[in-house]
Structure 1
Amino acid sequence: MENNIAKNSKKGILLVNLGSPKSTKVEDVKEYLDEFLMDERVIDYPWFFRALLVKGIILNTRPKKSAAAYKTVWTDEGSPLIVITKQIQQKLQKLVDIPVEIGMRYAEPSIETGIRNLVEKGVEEIVLFPLYPQYAMSTTETVVEKAKEVQAKFFPNIKINYVKPFYNRDLYINCLAESIKEKLPENFDLLQFSYHGVPERHIYKTDPTKTCKIGDCCFKEDHPSHQYCYRHQCLKTTELVRQKLGLEDSQVKSTFQSRLGKDKWIEPYTDETLENLPKNGVKNLAIVCPAFVSDCLETLEEISVEGKEEFLHAGGENFHYVPCLNDEDRWIEVVKQLCEEEL
């Protein structure tokens, strides 16, 4: 395969994903959740109230349950998300002549560790790739802001370029559609697109135009809020993939999973949908999670285990989880091309 990224020891690539606990031990999961949930862009309450909720309530109950969930997906090599991200790194490294490192927004290897590893290899200009197709305050934004913080504190002379959200790029949509098509069962009544949820207030907070009205403008052409609207970008991903697959509107549905607390999150909810689909005649379901490029706890446990149980218990007959892009060669080529654009 032709290598279009010129050999230049002063440039490098940093792939950034969410992160994972060091192990399935309760204390390690608690440490991870503390860092994750205390991020002001994840739980966006003032510090005192965020600490009261996280340290006073959540960390006293959730780590044990989450540790048990992690144990169901953990591999001999470790966390699936970390393992798969490393596989993406290794495959990309074979296609380019500049250093490729990984960093995680939470836990290790951290963004600081990833940048430091590149700097030690002589890198002066970094392409940082947040591995999230859609923009959200709790994903892309927190990665970029953390990287800027690390850069200012430790690496002021390093230049960082950021790969932008790619939810509507043809090269990504083609890749995703081809991957889904190969994995779909022969017979299915509905292809459900389950995206990670966010509180509705996050949508409004990330909209610099202050013109977003959830549900009213997601499909308006060239609406000024689309660049930062997670809900729009998820629904657009579904629509573009639907068109590529040649499916009817009635054959796809977008939902949102993983809500936390009692605040209003963007709808419809994945769990409620899974419970209601069989009542509405959907007995054979295929489900995909395009907010994630790597399989992780939210896909392997929450959807393919818990979601399956919910659907079958409600009267569904066949539940088929479609894996993420993971380290598929066509996805690695997309990563390479998106990095090339920033180099």
Structure 2
Amino acid sequence: MKRVKIAVIGASGYTGLELLRLLLTHPHAELVCVTSRQNAGRKIGELFPRFTGAESADLKFIDPEPEAIAATGAEVAFLALPHGVAAGYASSLLEKGLRIIDLSADFRLEDPEVYKEFYGDDHPAPELLKEAVYGLPEVRRDAIPSARLIAAPGCYPTSISLPLIPLLREKLIDPSSIVTCSMSGVSGAGKKADLSLLFCECNESARAYGVPKHRHLSEIEQELGKAAGEKVVMSFTPHLIPVHNGICTTTSAKLTGTPEEVNAALETAYADEHFVRLLGKGGCADTKNVTGTNFIDIGWEYDERTGRVLLLSAEDNLGKGAGGQAVQNFNILCGFSETAGLQNF
């Protein structure tokens, strides 16, 4: 089978590194372009010695200029760039015939006014918002193969939305009662110089941040609202914990159905999904079982005292929450097996 020529734009960050790890050994991907202004001219194997010996380890980073990217023959570009920056590259590369999988937040929201509310600026390419497909494979699989522009979901939204969507669709919980707390590894903040992210600031410590209105809340409420068929406003509190990667999420909501229906809804939605592992009633998801993979583990419990259902999930924020899910989208987009390049445990 012909291999698809791939570009990774912003390949030197933590998400870019995860994309390289997956794509360098992907059976149907040929890496032809990696970009980084800071590391232009250096080889992949030089910057990341772990990849020494890989087929494309000698590929050199180039400046992220759309003309130079297109000249490499790349057919699909992964954008591992900050929000506000990715949109410009998406617009330019779409004009040059590339298909885009964007890992930033630039195309996840359908309403440019919501984008401005949560991200503080006017949307840089509002004309593309209606075209973008929200790339949550277990929910939007049918729309992905024909897409030119895929918006890969955020890490927190994936860990929160997948457990909740089946219950909201079946009207088993009260949408107004949803409360979520998540804990994430430090890599979720990206590779940047920030005093609060230094080892001595994070190690042996845990703290909430982004309260009361973390940016991912906009994306979460949008997708949950679609599942519920009504506007969803919820409470979400993220926490930083002293691990490199991994997200552990606990969500509770008032149960309007029965515990048996909760289990049935999750089984119906995900029993045949390779990357969703259902732990059943009483199953507590653990990040150690998902880091380095594209799996999300989901367990649940019912609290009879409060009448609330507890949804317990764990994923790798760089895997199912970013690079792994982006590759899953790539596989669907190109007609490959959904597990290609992702069969790691």
Q: Give TM class, smaller chain.
A: 0.3 to 0.5
Q: TM-score, normalised by structure 1?
A: 0.34
Say which structure is richer in helix. Answer: 1
Higher relative contact order (CA 8 A, sep 6+): 1
Say which structure is richer in strand. Answer: 2
Q: TM-score, normalised by structure 2?
A: 0.33
